[in-house]
């Protein structure tokens, strides 16, 4: 087998390549009445949000990281007319239009556009006013959904590129999202994987597929080393999904054990990386409000299903898995309970490691950032007053494609 491009064997190795999505028109299509349906709590100011995101990318590029963008790779992946037709059909199918005549009209309209314009609609959505007026027979669904503004929903969560996919070793997990509102995001990654030469599909094993039954989201998956992965069992990631992914990794990769970490099922802690991330060889940042609630289980290869061993604590589990004499669990918030809770809501523990002991964080989390510095961590701060409105931080906004080995 030829050598592939993707390779991630840790959370902290020098970040060489990353996949981002620059927030766009999809965020301007958020309105108060549809926030819940589109998994948002607030309406960001796009112009400021884009400036913040550009600075995030610039900080990575300044330290040697190659930045790729979803919208560019996807447009390149559907350059071929046949693949473009398949993509259009899948976007329409995902949109649950439930009107064959209208589906044909939308399909014919999209076929007239260039790949970049098709991708923009697939991400930003198709507003009813975007489609030229064509006389057609109305169905019941047209009357029922008359007040709903979109034929194709926007995808405001796409800038959280961590969740649709995760590179583990030299392979890729294209995740099954918990909520239908994000299914199209994983479909995009599938097209990039299958049809973009960068991903070298023939050399890149697929560990998980978005058409699976059981949910797994990338914010719950931490590649701790070349042989150990931690996966949060959370509001968004299922226990059975963890088992299935573990089985495939044990059978086909260098992963020898998986730490399943059970966290409270609440939106505030929707993924493991909202309360816990790795920042150095033996250092982790953790939100103290959940530290005593986390339950860790060691999964190793078994006869028919992975063998599960409950661990005494997260601390013990990490030391054992990583063969370390001690680990430093650095509590966010600077030792103050209220500050820790406030800063966790603003993603203080959602750090992105650029290298061992060097992380990107939001500058608003002052106490947590100072605590990290006091533990010898280099903190690269970015502005995030608008980015944070989507309930995610630097780790959520990035999908590492290549990290240097440790």
- Any idea what DSSP says for residue 304? S
**Would residue 233 show up in a list of annotated catalytic residues for this protein?**
no
* Cα–Cα distances in angstroms (integers) from residue 190 to residues 78, 217, 292, 319, in the given order: 12, 15, 38, 36
- Sign of the Cα torsion 385, 330, 258, 322 reads positive
Strand partners, 298: 259, 309
Q: Which residue's structure tokens are 């573990």? A: 246
Residue among 8, 122, 396, 397 flagged as catalytic: 396
Which conformational region is residue 61 in: left (phi greater than 0), alpha (psi within -120 to 50 degrees), or beta? alpha
Q: Which tokens is 345 given?
A: 């809501």
Give CA–CA dist 286/155, Å, rounded. Answer: 30
- Any idea what DSSP says for residue 375? T
Helix axes 337-345, 366-374, angle to 10 degrees: 110
Q: Which tokens is 118 given?
A: 């098709």
Three-state DSSP state, 90? helix
Catalytic residue positions, numbered: 396
């Amino acid at each position: 087998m030829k050598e592939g491009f993707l390779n991630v064997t840790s959370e902290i190795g020098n970040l060489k390549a990353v996949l981002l999505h620059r927030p766009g028109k999809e965020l301007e299509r958020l309105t108060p009445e549809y926030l819940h349906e589109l998994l948002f709590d607030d309406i960001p100011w796009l112009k400021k949000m884009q400036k913040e995101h550009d600075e995030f990318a610039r900080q990575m590029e300044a330290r040697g990281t190659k930045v790729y963008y979803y919208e560019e790779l996807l447009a390149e992946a559907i350059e071929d007319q046949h693949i473009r037709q398949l993509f259009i059909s899948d976007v329409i199918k995902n949109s649950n239009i439930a009107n064959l005549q209208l589906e044909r009209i939308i399909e014919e309209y999209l076929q007239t556009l260039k790949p970049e314009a098709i991708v923009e609609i697939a991400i930003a959505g198709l507003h009813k006013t975007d489609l030229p007026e064509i006389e057609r027979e109305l169905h019941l669904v047209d009357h029922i959904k008359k007040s709903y503004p979109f034929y194709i929903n926007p995808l405001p969560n796409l800038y959280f590129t961590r969740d649709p996919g995760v590179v583990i070793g030299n392979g890729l997990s294209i995740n099954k999202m918990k909520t239908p509102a994000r299914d199209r995001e994983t479909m995009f990654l599938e097209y990039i994987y299958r049809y973009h030469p960068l991903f070298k599909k023939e050399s890149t094993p697929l560990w998980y597929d978005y058409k699976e039954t059981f949910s797994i989201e990338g914010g719950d998956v931490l590649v701790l080393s070349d042989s150990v992965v931690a996966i949060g069992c959370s509001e968004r990631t299922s226990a059975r999904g963890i088992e299935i992914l573990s089985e495939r990794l044990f059978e086909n990769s260098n992963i020898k054990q998986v730490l399943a970490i059970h966290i409270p099922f609440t939106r505030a802690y929707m993924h493991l990386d909202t309360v816990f991330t790795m920042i150095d060889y033996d250092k982790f940042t953790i939100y103290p409000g959940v530290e005593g609630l986390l339950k860790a289980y060691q999964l190793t290869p078994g006869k028919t299903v992975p063998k599960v061993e409950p661990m005494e604590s997260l601390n013990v589990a990490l030391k054992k898995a990583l063969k370390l004499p001690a680990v430093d669990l650095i509590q966010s918030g600077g030792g103050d309970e209220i500050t820790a809770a406030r800063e966790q809501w603003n993603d203080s523990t959602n750090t992105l490691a650029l290298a061992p002991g060097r992380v990107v964080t939001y500058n608003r989390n002052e106490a947590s950032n100072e605590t990290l510095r006091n533990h010898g961590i280099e903190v690269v701060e970015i502005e995030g007053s608008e980015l944070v409105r989507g309930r995610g931080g630097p780790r959520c906004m990035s999908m590492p494609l290549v990290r240097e080995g440790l």
